[in-house]
A and B are shown apart, each in its own frame.
Chain A
Amino acid sequence: YKMAGDSRFPDVDTDGSEKSEEMEIVVNVGGVRQVFYGDNLNQYPETRLAELVNCLSGGYDSIFSLCDDYDPGKREFYFDRDPDAFKCIIDVYYFGEIHMKKGICPICFKNEMEFWKVDLKFLDDCCKAHLSEKKEELEEIARRVQLILDDLGVDASESRWKRCQKYIWKFLEKPESSYPARVIAVLSFLFILISSVVMCVGTIPDLQVVDAEGNRMEHPTLDSIETACIGWFTMEYVLRLISSPNKLHFALSFMNIVDVLAILPFYVSLTLTHLGAKLMELSNVQQAVQALRIMRIARIFKLARHSSGLQTLTYALKRSFKELGLLLMYLAVGIFVFSALGYTMEQSHPETLFKSIPQSFWWAIITMTTVGYGDIYPKTTLGKLNAAISFLCGVIAIALPIHPIINNFVRYYNKQRVLETAAKHELELMELNSAEGKATGSRSELEDLSREGKDDPFYSSRIKVSHSDTFIHLLSEEKNYRTRLQSCK
């Protein structure tokens, strides 16, 4: 290994640091030997190797605080680390940037960089993206683990009311936590279905009854079913609200807004029919009630709570906002262009169906999305040509931006599954670590007795202390999770 610093080493004469300049240290990292020159290392004085060079005069204690072993005969410093990562990391002394070797896990590499005290900023951007991707994934896993731990945690110290609250929360929000909770979830799902069906069936004219004033009213049995469903929804919502640990957060979350929207119309129309008669005219009241009926559709969205697929869909749509905009823009441009073209071309025909440009918007949409109802269609040759082109453009305009949306969806869909298993694994790992910690702890004590001096306690305890890389600060209150894990066992 001929170093870059090798060539300039004899003649460069910077004042003061002559000694460290000539200093040549041999570093052995996990069996791989490497020669360094002091000035080269001192470019980055905060790194471990540079510190090592600088404290050579400080005696064995300071040396041994930095490296794992020192061979005075060969003047060789030994580090018990991964040589592969080290080979990449020393690039910083020669090129000022680090590239990750392909195949090394980025998280693992990050830890190595931390050991060598090389700042993460030296990692080149091309490799950084990889690292940040992995980090995000780990954070996601950690969040899930946190959620699971929260569910598991039952603190005996809390008041009875709190415990009760937690129990209800678990009961309603985590269908997988227990058998009755699952039953509740299924029941709730059924109620949503029933109420949706009732809403649809209620509009069939044959099933409606005519009241005294000649107005069509919903069938009384359907009405009572509706009332029962609304009752269930209301109870569910109220219980959830009461038991939620964070009321404001609860009230503002998307799913709960949907819940409110599903039950509100019923109560509003109820109050309107009872009180509104005094305030305004009857016809107005009835119109308002009718309008509120549309709001009942919101209850279909309640299904999203019970389907991970729907959640994935909403997530994918949220993530691909840009692509959706693109799709709409393409379509809008196409609609404008083709409806205008269609309108002008059809002008020549005496019985044209294209009465105005805004009216032909409808035709353009229906053609471009390849639906083609046939209520409006071109009659002239030019108009037909235009229709053909608009159909082709429509296919392309829809197909192009839809691909990234689909991609997002598929990726998220697959990731969801991976994360699920990963979170479970993480929990297992944590459990293992906590158990191991005790085991190694007791063992290391024994060892200290048997061959004292050889093992310094720092090392034997290191495995115990280290937790998995997913451990972000969120989860690091060790006591907390350990008691939780034990309590759930």
Chain B
Amino acid sequence: MPLGMNKHGSRSTTSLPPDPTEIVRSKACSRRVKLNVGGLAHEVLWRTLDRLPRTRLGKLRDCNTHDSLMEICDDYNLEENEYFFDRHPGAFTSILNFYRTGKLHMMEEMCALSFSQELDYWGVDEIYLESCCQARYHQKKEQMNEELKREAETLREREGEEFDNTCCAEKRKKLWDLLEKPNSSVAAKILAIISIMFIVLSTIALSLNTLPELQGVDEFGQTTDNPQLAHVEAVCIAWFTMEYLLRFLSSPKKWKFFKGPLNAIDLLAILPYYVTIFLTESNKSVLQFQNVRRVVQIFRIMRILRILKLARHSTGLQSLGFTLRRSYNELGLLILFLAMGIMIFSSLVFFAEKDEDDTKFKSIPASFWWATITMTTVGYGDIYPKTLLGKIVGGLCCIAGVLVIALPIPIIVNNFSEFYKEQKRQEKAIKRREALERAKRNGSIVSMNMKDAFARSIELMDIVVEKNGESIAKKDKVQDNHLSPSKWKWTKRTLSETSSSKSFETKEQGSPEKARSSSSPQHLNVQQLEDMYNKMAKTQSQPNLNTKESSQAGKPKEELEMETLPGPMVPLLATRTDGIIDMRSMSSIDSFISCAAEFPDCGRFSHSPLTALPCKGGINVIQEQSRPQGSSARYAEINPGSESSHRSAFFIESPKSSIKASNPLKLRSLKVNFMEEDTSTLVPASNVLRTYPDPLKSRGATAAATDSSLLSDRSLMSPETSIYTTASARTPPKSPESQAAIAFNFHDAGIHKYIDADTDDEGQLMYDSSPPGNVSPKYTVANSGYLKQKDHVYRTEKNHLEAAALPTSPKLIGQNCIYSMEGITGRTQGNQETVRLENHISPEVHVLPGSGGHANTHAQSI
């Protein structure tokens, strides 16, 4: 079923929120309610929803004001008695059934993680899941968590190498790469091969040493090493020692290096040699040579450990070790089975054979050997039963041995194959990611063939990168700043923003203090964002278009924009910059989960390596904003600035955020935060609306407002915001009124001359990506001013989202992706050109004729 929301009745077309009495009346006139979740309409009795009053749907009944309703649902239509939720429809069916029957079952094909997200959104605790589905749910969830954790760990290991704290970091990093990452360069590969050769050589020398023909005899009559082989040995040990020392010196974290199992093996491989030398040298004079000799012999045996050094160069050996560690339970079982079998059969065969003359089964412990050799089907034949009874026991023992050994092994094998597969996959993913980052650094990514990139990025969604201590450290900094409520200079900020992306750091520091020092709602939001940020130190690297979280996350920003209107003080820039990181991280984490499961088709496109999708919104915004200002004097200076900052931010920001790895465990807390945010979001919106009916006041304030808005324009040009807007742009029609209100203000202020420069393009853009039916009401809302255009963008984005949310249109998403890419390519050129470019380069995008004209007439009429 397509979107059921009716254009005529849709609340978003009216600029005024309905009266509480209206809402109450609408609720009272029907016993039933229509719930539209992601396009799938459900009808349910009100009293069914009342059964779980603390859940989201349960609260819907008690909400009688517009604001509280908007907190709970994304849109509503009173005439149709329909409420829209922008969520996954598949999971909702199961959840609604929980209201109906009191039993929560899970659709079998649902991804467990995605389902748990949905449960969190609807406010249902996962504990209600029925036992029949619970096992599967938890199994999947645990498995997923474990996998993610492991991936994050390995990647963190790779990422966590920071060389910035000590001297000659550059050289040490190079050395480290050379020794530790054989794939990083040809030289490293050669070095690895030499290392392997040395290991093999030293092992061969070790075994040859024991050949009697090659051994010499010393003055005590004891055999000694062959001198040539001793030289080989010395050379090998020298190589190993050098390797170990270099590794140790170049390692970023010494203690961690020392503790690593592979490095411990290295140490064990070289230590015996030195201990032997030390012992023989120090004890030569002393007469307890015999004892020393024995100790030396033991150490010689320990030299065989060096064969384990090969593990460093072989994934297979590492996975074997890991498997054994993981399946010690099953190994114990195997040994237990064997021990019991040996015990039983050896005593049986002892009693069967003990009366035989010249028997070798002298006692039960003596027949242990026989039982072991028989059960493992080795069968040396040094002991074998001779009586009939003994032979029967022997036969049974063979069969039992085969069975008992075979049983637990498949479990171990399973563990091994899983881990091995995982390891292989990870290796590939890491390689790809490294290539990607290199490409990003070089900037070559822009000229890359986008379609190819998408095709290749399918597997990239495996990559999970963890943002290590950095994020936490940053957070700490921020917290410190909170304590010192120094006033934040607005003009300075603008400068720093336009200057370069380096200002990112300063912004980071400057913004949060504002957030703390005053108690206005947006600060609350920032606080929550920060909380979220703290909770979510990890995120997935690929941001995504069709995330719902981002739409939620966008709300606070929307609100911030509204805040600019009432007063000319503009603290929002600061708060915004901080929020962006959160937005990104959140959107990406959600995308990873929801897309992987829900929209397999879209998911693969959305995981673009370029993180290009979010940029699209940014570009649009820049176009919109800079155009009105283009006629003003500021255009020249601001626009280039914004361009450069935008670009640099794009390339610098994205890797940074990509470092954060997702932590699904934290998702739930995140969710809660979102919900809280919703509540605060609506307050300012209503404030704006209240100011709006008073035209005199707003007119009086327009001068200031214009000023502030221009300033905010500039802020919108800042790189972060541009990325940010994507998220906000997807906010479902919660803010239209407020936007409309702003638009009216600007209309009054006479800025409308900039307005319609590009409405055609906007209209086309909008029609490109949205089903035509959805568009027309939006035009009626949009009035004038650049904010109207922004509104367009906003709507375009929303339509994007809608299209993306419907799993039926993966192709559409593909188109969107492509054309947004083109947008980036064209970004460096003039704004007008960029827009044209977008339209021209994406020919597959369907352009509806007359749409531009439609928009124009509306604009002019108002």
Which A residues lie at the B interface, using CB under 8 A? 28, 30-31, 68-69, 78, 80-84, 102-108, 111, 134, 137-138, 141, 196, 199-201, 203-205, 290, 293-294, 296-297, 300, 303, 307, 309-310, 313, 316, 327-328, 331, 362, 365-366, 369-375, 398, 402, 405-406, 409-410, 413, 418-419, 421-422, 425-426, 428-429, 432, 440, 443, 447, 454-455, 459-460, 462-463, 466, 468-470
A-B contact pairs, 10 of them (CB 8 A): A28-B43, A200-B347, A203-B354, A204-B365, A204-B366, A410-B410, A410-B411, A418-B135, A469-B131, A469-B132
Q: A422-B131, A429-B128, A470-B131 are in contact. Are A460 and B51 (CB under 8 A)?
A: yes
Q: A291 → chain B, closest Cβ, in Å? A: 8
Cβ contact of A428, chosen from B109, B127, B394, cutoff 8 A:
B127
Cβ-based interface call for B256 (8 A):
no
Of B35, B354, B374, B384, most buried by chain A (CB within 10 Å of CB) is: B384
Q: A200-B343, A460-B50 are in contact. Are A69 and B127 (CB under 8 A)?
A: no
For window 123-160 of B, CB contacts with A under 8 Å fall at: 127-135, 138-139
Chain A contacts for B399, CB-based, 8 A: 327-328, 331, 369, 398
Chain A contacts for B495, CB-based, 8 A: none
B108–A375 contact, CB under 8 A?
A: no
Q: A102-B109, A200-B343, A459-B51 are in contact. Are A69 and B410 (CB under 8 A)?
A: no
CA distance A30 to B34 in the complex (A): 9
A466–B407 contact, CB under 8 A?
A: no
A310–B51 contact, CB under 8 A?
A: no
Q: A369-B398, A460-B50, A463-B52 are in contact. Are A105 and B131 (CB under 8 A)?
A: no
A294–B347 contact, CB under 8 A?
A: yes
In the complex formed, the residue of B with least CB distance to A32 is B43
Cβ contact of A303, chosen from B108, B109, B340, cutoff 8 A:
B340
A137–B132 contact, CB under 8 A?
A: yes
Q: A82-B97, A421-B135 are in contact. Are A463 and B107 (CB under 8 A)?
A: no
A31–B48 contact, CB under 8 A?
A: no
CA distance A328 to B403 in the complex (A): 12
Q: A303-B340, A405-B407, A469-B132 are in contact. Are A108 and B105 (CB under 8 A)?
A: yes
Q: A105-B105, A203-B363 are in contact. Are A69 and B343 (CB under 8 A)?
A: no
Q: A100 → chain B, closest Cβ, in Å? A: 10
Chain B contacts for A469, CB-based, 8 A: 103, 130-132
The SS class assigned to the B binding surface is helix
Q: B630 → chain A, closest Cβ, in Å? A: 50
Q: B735 → chain A, closest Cβ, in Å? A: 29
A201–B131 contact, CB under 8 A?
A: no
In the complex formed, the residue of B with least CB distance to A135 is B132
B100–A81 contact, CB under 8 A?
A: yes
B31–A31 contact, CB under 8 A?
A: no
Cβ-based interface call for B350 (8 A):
yes
Q: A80-B100, A200-B365, A371-B377 are in contact. Are A103 and B135 (CB under 8 A)?
A: no
CA distance A109 to B843 in the complex (A): 48
Q: A200-B363, A369-B377 are in contact. Are A455 and B32 (CB under 8 A)?
A: no
Q: B377 → chain A, closest Cβ, in Å? A: 5
For window 392-425 of B, CB contacts with A under 8 Å fall at: 394-395, 398-399, 401-404, 406-408, 410-411, 414
B398–A463 contact, CB under 8 A?
A: no
Cβ-based interface call for B171 (8 A):
no
How many pairs of A and B residues are in contact by the CB < 8 Å rule?
227
CA distance A418 to B41 in the complex (A): 36
In the complex formed, the residue of A with least CB distance to B378 is A371
Chain A contacts for B132, CB-based, 8 A: 105-107, 134, 137-138, 469-470
Chain A contacts for B97, CB-based, 8 A: 82, 108
CA distance A82 to B108 in the complex (A): 16
B130–A105 contact, CB under 8 A?
A: yes
In the complex formed, the residue of A with least CB distance to B361 is A203
Cβ-based interface call for B333 (8 A):
yes
Cβ-based interface call for B683 (8 A):
no
CA distance A297 to B343 in the complex (A): 8
In the complex formed, the residue of A with least CB distance to B409 is A406
CA distance A309 to B407 in the complex (A): 11
Chain B contacts for A328, CB-based, 8 A: 399
CA distance A443 to B130 in the complex (A): 24
Q: A17 → chain B, closest Cβ, in Å? A: 31
Cβ-based interface call for B379 (8 A):
yes
CA distance A68 to B348 in the complex (A): 73
B102–A31 contact, CB under 8 A?
A: no
CA distance A455 to B47 in the complex (A): 6
CA distance A107 to B585 in the complex (A): 39
Cβ-based interface call for B570 (8 A):
no
CA distance A426 to B410 in the complex (A): 30
B51–A462 contact, CB under 8 A?
A: yes
Q: A213 → chain B, closest Cβ, in Å? A: 18
Cβ-based interface call for B2 (8 A):
no
Q: B78 → chain A, closest Cβ, in Å? A: 18
Chain A contacts for B377, CB-based, 8 A: 369-371
Cβ-based interface call for B817 (8 A):
no
In the complex formed, the residue of B with least CB distance to A465 is B102
In the complex formed, the residue of A with least CB distance to B370 is A373
A371–B101 contact, CB under 8 A?
A: no
CA distance A294 to B343 in the complex (A): 12
Cβ contact of B32, chosen from A78, A300, A374, cutoff 8 A:
A78
Extra contacts, 7 of them, besides A105-B107, A141-B131, A462-B51 (Cβ < 8 A), are A108-B130, A296-B347, A374-B380, A375-B381, A422-B131, A469-B132, A470-B131
CA distance A79 to B850 in the complex (A): 45
Q: A69-B32, A410-B410 are in contact. Are A104 and B107 (CB under 8 A)?
A: yes
